[in-house]
Structure 1
Amino acid sequence: MEIIDSHCHTSPIWFEPIGTLKNQMKDNNVKKAVLVQFFGVYDNDYLIEQMENFPNMFKVAALVDVTSVDASETLQNLADRGVNSVRFTANTRSPGSDPLEIWKTAEKLNLIATVLGTCEDYASDSFERLIRNVPSLPIVIEHLGGVGAFFGPGRTTPVIPQKAYDKVLALNKYENTYMKITGFGEFCERPRPMPSGTPFTVIPPVLDQALEAYGSKRLFWGSDYPPVSAREGYGNAFSVPYNYLKISQSEKDDIFGTNALTLWKFKKGD
């Protein structure tokens, strides 16, 4: 199995440059990665440069300014440069007469949409309607459905919002939906004092529930590097969920490599 990281960030002016990410990947035997643009950055040249320099190692999830009148044209230009995925939020809407224009453009271009949101955003009726309106667009729900308190949008309480999460899991009925699983530091509190041998003592069953809903064929592992370094760290973000899941080796291969290889159309091998 080639381990593939479906969710990491890099930049020369924020977070860490590509060399630091490549070192983490090498140290943890991760062979390929999706470079996900972070919000507020609409210049995707740095990410595309890495993809061009290392075409078998990296794919890019780009960001566009959807408020711009030429957002769809920009997305077309990115696709022409080899970008095969775009990042939205669950609340991303185009201005003008068709609020779903940018989503429909992504669908027409055969892109993948990787989507950030809170658990409540994903659970909303408006997000479900959106999914129904772009049935051919792969929609990848990030960060285990936004269930955790300790990442990006986060939450004000570590209590799992189970009712909202159940609605997110119910989106599995749409065949174009997928989910990224995360390191446990996104949804588990850091124990104090820290025990030896494991960074977590209380683990809510949210990963088990995601596996039951989506199955091993529609889940992807993502590190969320480098923000994960302020939590349990890159290696633990891989090894803890990998060892936690009591499933077959074939199913682990799907989640931690094969699914991303297939959807993002990576080439096999170095």
Structure 2
Amino acid sequence: MVIDSHCHTGDRWYEPVDTLLHHMDRHGVSRAMLIQMLGQFDNGYQQDSVQRHPDRFVSVVGVDLSRADACDELERQAAQGAVGVRLRPTDRSLGDDPLAIWRAAERLGLLVSCVGNSTTFGDPAFDALVAQFPRLTIVLEHLGSNSSPDADAAAVAARQRVFGLARHAHVCIKLPGLGELIARPALMAADPFTLAAVASPVLRPAFEAFGPERLLWGSDFPVVSSREGYGQALGLCREVVRQLYPQAVDGVFGGNAQTLLARQSR
């Protein structure tokens, strides 16, 4: 079973869920996590997509933290079937308890899909926050940085510092398509063996830090269409992982996400 841990859909922005289903069916992807886009707090379309296709999708919602009732809204979304909430490392609640939304996610048994960059993920304040919630599954998006290749050695080092969060057993990380991690090859005929050599310096530290059981593949649909495309994001990435860590393929591309979702549904 292949599970895509990072997809966006919508009726006013991005592609509708039927387009995602087309790509999933074409490339043998069984299930996907719908991750609410930034700035969107109306989760109706996403939750409706799950209700229409309960065997294919789960919903990770967004909540507006400028509202005093944000924790109540998260509880309502959980009651409607949401399995997680998307937060930034710097997100804080109004009122006396700035970590109220993180506490609510832990209390409700939700996972946090965490969107940030190497600076916010690598901030000691976030490390301290993570340490406070050992029962809260936190999944770092985009391999712990921005959804673009590292521009220089300093960016590479900053991303790899983020991997220090792996010391917390409840932190996982999403492995995106290679087009998000490496620059577009000058020679488009480059085969996966060439890509493996280029991708290895980015992937190896993540695997060494988190181990193969805490990495989840995510396509970043439909943004991936402006890079290598959905099928290549799955196929090339899977081929490279097969070359570098053959024993990890089944877990990274489905088994780990399946285990995580089973744990959230208890």
Q: Taking structure 1 as the reference length, what is the TM-score of the superposition?
A: 0.91
Partner residue, 1:262: 259
| Amino acid in structure 2 at the alignment position of 1:41 | Q
Structure 2: state its 5+ residue gaps. Answer: none
How big is the alpha-carbon RMSD for the aligned residues of Structure 1 and Structure 2? 2.0
Provide closer, same or farther for how the CA distance between residues 18 and 136 of structure 1 changes in structure 2, counting only shifts above 3 A.
same
1:170 deviates by 1.0
1:168 deviates by 1.0
Provide closer, same or farther for how the CA distance between residues 131 and 196 of structure 1 changes in structure 2, counting only shifts above 3 A.
closer
Partner residue, 2:211: 215
1:159 deviates by 5.0
Once the two structures are superposed, the pairs formed by residues 137-156 of structure 1 within 5 Å of their partners are: 137-146=136-145, 149=148
State the alpha-carbon separation in 2 of the partners of residues 253 and 160 from structure 1. 33
Equivalent residues of 2:116, 2:146 under 8 A apart: no
| Amino acid in structure 2 at the alignment position of 1:218 | R
Provide closer, same or farther for how the CA distance between residues 192 and 204 of structure 1 changes in structure 2, counting only shifts above 3 A.
same
1:265 deviates by 2.6
Partner residue, 2:96: 97
SS at match of 1:205: helix
1:264 deviates by 1.6
State the alpha-carbon separation in 1 of the partners of residues 169 and 97 from structure 2. 24
State the alpha-carbon separation in 2 of the partners of residues 162 and 189 from structure 1. 13
Partner residue, 1:114: 113
Partner residue, 1:66: 65
Equivalent residues of 2:87, 2:112 under 8 A apart: yes
Partner residue, 2:239: 243
Q: Taking structure 2 as the reference length, what is the TM-score of the superposition?
A: 0.92
1:104 deviates by 0.6
SS at match of 1:161: helix
Q: Is 1:182 aligned to residue 176 of structure 2?
A: yes
Identity over the aligned pairs, expressed in percent? 37
State the alpha-carbon separation in 1 of the partners of residues 87 and 93 from structure 2. 11
State the alpha-carbon separation in 1 of the partners of residues 175 and 86 from structure 2. 17
Provide closer, same or farther for how the CA distance between residues 203 and 194 of structure 1 changes in structure 2, counting only shifts above 3 A.
same
Partner residue, 2:167: 173
Partner residue, 1:27: 26
**Structure richer in helix, relative to its length:** 2
| Amino acid in structure 2 at the alignment position of 1:187 | L
| Amino acid in structure 2 at the alignment position of 1:223 | S
State the alpha-carbon separation in 2 of the partners of residues 196 and 166 from structure 1. 26
Match of 2:202 among 183, 202, 206: 206
Equivalent residues of 2:166, 2:210 under 8 A apart: yes
* Count of matched residue positions in the alignment of Structure 1 and Structure 2: 260
Equivalent residues of 1:149, 1:158 under 8 A apart: no
State the alpha-carbon separation in 1 of the partners of residues 89 and 58 from structure 2. 22
SS at match of 2:172: strand
Structure 1: state its 5+ residue gaps. Answer: none
1:89 deviates by 0.9
State the alpha-carbon separation in 1 of the partners of residues 257 and 71 from structure 2. 25
State the alpha-carbon separation in 2 of the partners of residues 159 and 9 from structure 1. 31
State the alpha-carbon separation in 2 of the partners of residues 236 and 262 from structure 1. 25
